[in-house]
Amino acid sequence: MDLRSLSLPSSPVKIPGLTPLRPLGVGGRCAVWLARRTCGADSAVDWILPSKKLPETVALKIPLQSARGSVPTRTLRAELEAMVPLLHEHLVKPLGIASTAGAPVLILQAYTGGSLARFLRTSRMLTPGQAVTVFSPVAQALAHLHDCGAAHGDVSAANILLTPEGRPGLADLGDSTLLGMEHTAGTAAGDIRQLAIATWYALTGQLPDGDQRRAPLAALLPRARRELGVLLEDALEADPGSRPSAWEFASEIYRCAEPEALDMTAHADDATLQELPTVLPATQKPGPHRRGTGFLRFWGLVPRMRRWIRPGSSRPQDAA
């Protein structure tokens, strides 16, 4: 959905110490706004992290429909604190909660690049290398959840958010339940199938058909390595026990292509454009006359990408 075409209120909620700046996204049940922390926020918001660790800008997740019932702030805080052990560098981090006259508002880590679903609507489908950049980290986040005995239950392009440099974060981990909305519990094997569907769609622009009717990925995407098609077919298996684990998915997709940066410029609004690193077209080679600050900023991104895409770097040790 193009946010520029929406008619949204200029000030969605009034929370002392948090100034709404602009909408980041809106769905059928919630709107998400970027907000800046100012004086007074510490007293108005029940934070679950120390104030010194909080970012200057945060995201406000505001329900657009009434919750099933009024949930005490104390209960919401307890549920948020229970999510802290599940935090991962590629999961959108819950920061706190605020009570308003209308409904509770979740305070979350801000991803100002929008969702992958929006990226796909306004840009081309992902290349295999870009799919590695997005889906290997998301698979790592799922692996962490599964190792902790949890599941996500709604892995989709709409729930994969992006930073201005194209770093992904998986959103909506328990947010709907906290805001009093219906939410279907997931399973680890279900997460893997959803992840494969999202990857297939991001690569081809099509949802995968059933086993008997599905065309091979190689027929839809000839430039993709055979191993990528095999991985997705395995993850789409009807038998949940035959699907790879999230760690296996993260490792296998990482081997299927060289990671490639996402070009975030096509779908960014004016405010987000100012945060984007500079990206050269694939056909443009660096030269002495092009080595300006922007060029170096982009090439400084490449080593950082490799650190947060490569599987295994943040895998927890096996429990004793």
CB of 130 within 8 A of CB of 260? Answer: yes
In the structure encoding, which two tokens stand for residue 293, read together?
A: 């600050």
pLDDT value, residue 177: 52
The CA distance from 156 to 245, in Å, is 17
Per-residue pLDDT reduced to its tens digit, 116-144: 999 999 888 999 999 999 999 999 999 99
CB of 195 within 8 A of CB of 143? Answer: no
In the structure encoding, which two tokens stand for residue 179, read together?
A: 């805001």
117: how many CB neighbours lie within 10 A of its CB? 20
**Domains of the chain and any CATH numbers:** 3-108 (3.30.200.20), 116-260+304-309 (1.10.510.10)
Per-residue pLDDT reduced to its tens digit, 39-63: 766 677 777 766 666 788 999 988 7
Report the Cα–Cα distance between both ends of the chain, in Å, rounded.
47
DSSP reduced 3-state for 286: coil
List phi, psi (to 5°) of 177: -65, -45
Contacts with 208 (C-beta within 8 Å, 6 or more apart), sequence order: 196, 197, 200, 201, 214, 232, 236
Half-sphere exposure of 176 (CA within 13 A, CB side): 14
What residues of the chain score a pLDDT lower than 50?
1-10, 67-69, 181, 279-299, 313-320
Q: What is the pTM of this model?
A: 0.80
CA 46 to chain centre: 24
